[in-house]
């Protein structure tokens, strides 16, 4: 474009010059070798321009003829190079598609058309072809050659890193990632890999330094970098909590500035402040976290802020949390637990049932079982709540890569990924038997609760020496169709300090038919009973007194 504009300017300048000469006519007289030549000024200018153009054309022709062998060789060389690049492109596409035969064919063709010194991508094509053919040793050698070349160092290191990860050689992969991060800190894969490895080994200071360099080089997004740095600061604060509470507090507060919703950072900051007897500031941190996301660990630490508090004081703190986030399942469960400890059982039952209606899970039904045991002690009702707990989803927990942990960890124990743990329901229980988990489930569980068995507590008997239990006779009135009769019921009296007696129920039985009296004397047949067996006594006749003397 600039060249065309330059030519246009030259033409305009020539036109302007000739126009200027045409407006100012004159005569030009030249005497050369005794001859006098006269012409107008316009003709002389035209002849001069034509002479310059002819000289330029002659020079161009001579240059073309002189440089024609080189131009011809360059043409064929360029044509060969173009064919080689075409073969290289086709080979890379075939390697990416998994066509090993075509990739190997294009590799050989590229080798014959282009030199590997001129085009390093030939090494990449050969390495990719070896990978899809299963020749991993050859591919690793090609990557090593590429890693030694300054032009392809990063590409070779990445290939070696991926091969080490495939073979499970984590130490070799870490070294390749560290080398790539030192040589080229602008590579995201190298930075993230080195960051994960330093986090796995607990090198929090080195990981934070590398993260700051990556953030300054705009390798990692600012939001992601802030989150990762907050996690690293939280991990370092967790290690400092026992030996250096002040340092742990500073790191945790710095992490909260970068990520306000990071629950572990807030918990560590509150614990450090509790150790410094700064209860007010610690409580404000926990309350701020609670307003953002009601978390059971936040509630537990807030309620038990001081070891010397009574159960009533803990209940007051739980009520304050519920006031901050009303109609929340976690808040209601916290109040129910505190009320159970304070022995305010009606309040505990009401709050626990309300939490079950909002979010039925295993923990809330187990809490209802504990409340039932403390309130009524009815085994049937306790088993009912335990059965509901077995059928309900599990409580949320710190989960990463399908593995749960009792507490938050900065690095996943499975993949080694930083900031992998999340507070959520375990993966294995997401599609559990109770997927609807709505208010209907809790209402049905509450409606199907069996009634409390009616028991009467006997007064505690006076202490007596232990003796074997003997049968005791009790009389119960049995209603019949004709008249009441008396029956004797044998029961077993079990000696115990407190006995429970079930209220007897009235049972109707059919009366036995009475024998018909006749005048004839009936002879009772002998069925071979022992001679000392008196037989069945007739209840209508009075019992005769008899004595028996042994000696």
Q: Which residue has the higher pLDDT, 218 or 207?
A: 207
Q: How many angstroms separate the CA atoms of 203 and 223, rounded?
A: 22
Give the contacts of 226 (CB within 8 A, at least 6 positions apart).
258, 259
Give the contacts of 389 (CB within 8 A, at least 6 positions apart).
362, 363, 365, 366, 369
Looking at the DSSP assignment, which residues form a beta bridge with residue 405? 398
Q: Residue 219 in 3-state DSSP?
A: coil
Section 452-473 average pLDDT:
47
What is the helix (H) or strand (E) element at residue 184, kind and residue range?
A: none
Task: Say which CATH topology domain 98-220 has.
Answer: 1.25.40
Q: Residue 403 in 3-state DSSP?
A: strand
| pLDDT per position as a tens digit, 149-197 | 888 888 889 989 988 888 888 888 888 888 888 888 788 888 888 888 8
**What six digits make up the tokens of 228?**
């990762």
Q: How many angstroms separate the CA atoms of 21 and 459, rounded?
A: 141
Whose structure tokens read 């038997």?
433
Q: Is the pLDDT of residue 46 over 90?
A: no
> pTM of the prediction?
0.63
pLDDT of 81: 82
**What six digits make up the tokens of 143?**
């990557």
**What six digits make up the tokens of 408?**
């938050």
Looking at the DSSP assignment, which residues form a beta bridge with residue 31? 36
Q: How many angstroms separate the CA atoms of 330 and 355, rounded?
A: 7
Alpha-carbon distance values, 416 to 319, 411, 419 (Å)? 40, 6, 9
Q: How many angstroms separate the CA atoms of 278 and 426, rounded?
A: 36
- The DSSP-derived string for 418-459 is BT--EEE--GGGTT-S----SHHHHHHHHHTPPPPP--EEPP
pLDDT of 192: 86
pLDDT of 230: 94
Residue 487's pLDDT band, with cuts at 50, 70 and 90, is: very low
Whose structure tokens read 């949390």?
321
Q: How many angstroms separate the CA atoms of 473 and 157, rounded?
A: 94
Minimum mean pLDDT range among 63-77, 140-154, 269-283, 358-372: 63-77
3-state helix, strand, coil in the chain (%, to 5): 60, 10, 35
**Phi/psi of residue 199, nearest 5 degrees:** -70, -40
Counting other chains too, the contacts that 124-127 makes at CB distance below 8 Å and 24 or more residues apart are 124/92, 124/152, 124/155, 125/88, 125/91, 125/92, 125/95, 127/159
Whose structure tokens read 């009702």?
381
Nearest of 170, 168, 169, 198 to residue 182 by alpha carbon: 198
Q: How many angstroms separate the CA atoms of 400 and 505, rounded?
A: 59
How far does CA 325 lie from the centroid of its chain? 25
Q: How many angstroms separate the CA atoms of 162 and 165, rounded?
A: 5
Q: How many angstroms separate the CA atoms of 470 and 516, rounded?
A: 39
Section 66-81 average pLDDT:
81
Q: Is the pLDDT of residue 44 over 60?
A: yes
| pLDDT per position as a tens digit, 290-346 | 999 899 999 999 999 888 889 999 999 999 999 999 999 999 999 999 999 999 999
CB 452 within 8 A of CB 378: yes
Whose structure tokens read 């740095």?
229
**What six digits make up the tokens of 174?**
């870490």
**Phi/psi of residue 489, nearest 5 degrees:** -110, 125
Mean of pLDDT over the chain: 79
pLDDT of 264: 94
CB 325 within 8 A of CB 294: yes
Section 145-149 average pLDDT:
87
Give the contacts of 546 (CB within 8 A, at least 6 positions apart).
none
Q: How many angstroms separate the CA atoms of 376 and 451, rounded?
A: 11
Beta strand 485-492 with 456-457 is unpaired
Give the contacts of 403 (CB within 8 A, at least 6 positions apart).
412, 413, 414
According to DSSP, residue 326 is labeled T
Spell out the SS3 assignment of 251-320.
Answer: HHHHHHHHCCCCHHHHHHHHHHHHHCCCHHHHHHHHHHHHHHCCCHHHHHHHHCCCCCCCHHHHHHHHHH
pLDDT of 428: 53
According to DSSP, residue 394 is labeled P
Section 207-216 average pLDDT:
87
Sign of the CA dihedral with 171 first, then 172, 173, and 176 last: positive
Q: Is the pLDDT of residue 522 over 80?
A: no
Burial category of 222 from C-beta neighbours within 10 Å (exposed 0-12, middle 13-18, buried 19 and up): exposed
């Amino acid at each position: 474009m600039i060249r065309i504009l330059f030519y246009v300017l030259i033409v305009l300048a020539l036109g302007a010059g000739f126009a200027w000469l045409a407006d100012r006519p004159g005569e030009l007289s030249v005497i050369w070798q005794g001859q006098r030549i006269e012409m107008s000024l316009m003709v002389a200018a035209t002849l001069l321009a034509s002479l310059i153009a002819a000289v330029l054309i002659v020079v161009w022709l001579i240059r073309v003829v002189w440089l024609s062998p080189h131009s011809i060789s360059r043409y064929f060389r360029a044509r060969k190079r173009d064919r080689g690049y075409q073969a290289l492109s086709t080979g890379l596409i075939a390697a990416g598609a998994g066509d090993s035969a075509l990739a190997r064919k294009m590799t050989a063709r590229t080798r014959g058309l282009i030199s590997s010194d001129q085009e390093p991508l030939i090494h990449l094509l050969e390495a990719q072809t070896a990978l899809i053919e299963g020749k991993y040793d050859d591919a690793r050698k090609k990557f090593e050659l590429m890693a030694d070349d300054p032009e392809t160092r990063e590409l070779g290191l990445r290939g070696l890193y991926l091969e080490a990860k495939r073979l499970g050689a984590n130490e070799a992969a870490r070294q390749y990632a560290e080398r790539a991060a030192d040589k080229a800190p602008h590579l995201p894969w190298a930075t993230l890999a080195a960051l994960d490895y330093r986090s796995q080994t607990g090198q929090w200071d080195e990981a934070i330094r590398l993260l700051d360099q990556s953030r300054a080089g705009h390798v990692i997004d600012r939001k992601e970098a802030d989150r990762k740095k907050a996690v690293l600061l939280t991990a370092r604060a967790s290690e400092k909590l026992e030996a250096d509470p002040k340092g742990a507090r500073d790191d945790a507060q710095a992490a909260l500035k970068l990520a306000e919703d990071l629950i572990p950072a807030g918990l560590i900051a509150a614990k450090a402040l509790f150790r410094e007897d700064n209860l007010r500031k610690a409580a404000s941190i926990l309350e701020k976290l609670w307003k953002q996301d009601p978390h059971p660990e936040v509630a537990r630490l807030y309620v038990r802020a001081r070891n010397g508090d009574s159960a009533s004081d803990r209940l007051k703190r739980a009520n304050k949390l519920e006031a901050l986030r009303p109609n929340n399942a976690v808040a209601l469960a916290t109040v129910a637990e505190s009320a159970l400890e304070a022995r305010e059982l009606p309040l505990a039952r009401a709050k626990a049932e309300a939490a079950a209606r909002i979010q039925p899970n295993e923990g809330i039904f187990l809490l209802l079982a504990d409340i039932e045991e403390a309130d009524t002690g009815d085994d049937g009702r306790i088993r009912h709540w335990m059965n509901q707990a077995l059928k309900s989803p599990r409580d949320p927990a710190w989960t990463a890569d399908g593995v749960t942990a009792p507490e938050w960890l900065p690095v996943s124990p499975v993949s080694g990924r930083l900031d992998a743990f999340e507070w959520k329901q375990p993966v294995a229980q997401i599609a559990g038997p109770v997927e609807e988990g709505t208010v209907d489930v809790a209402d049905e569980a509450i409606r199907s609760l069996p009634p409390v068995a009616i028991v009467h507590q006997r007064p505690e008997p006076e202490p007596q020496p232990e003796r074997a239990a003997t049968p005791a006779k009790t009389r119960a009135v049995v209603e019949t169709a004709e008249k009441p009769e008396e029956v004797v019921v044998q029961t077993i009296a079990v000696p115990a300090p407190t006995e429970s007696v079930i209220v007897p129920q009235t049972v109707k039985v059919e009366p036995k038919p009475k024998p018909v009296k006749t005048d004839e004397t009936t002879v009772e047949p002998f069925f071979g009973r022992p001679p000392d067996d008196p037989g069945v006594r007739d209840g209508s006749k009075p019992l005769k007194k008899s004595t028996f003397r042994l000696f």
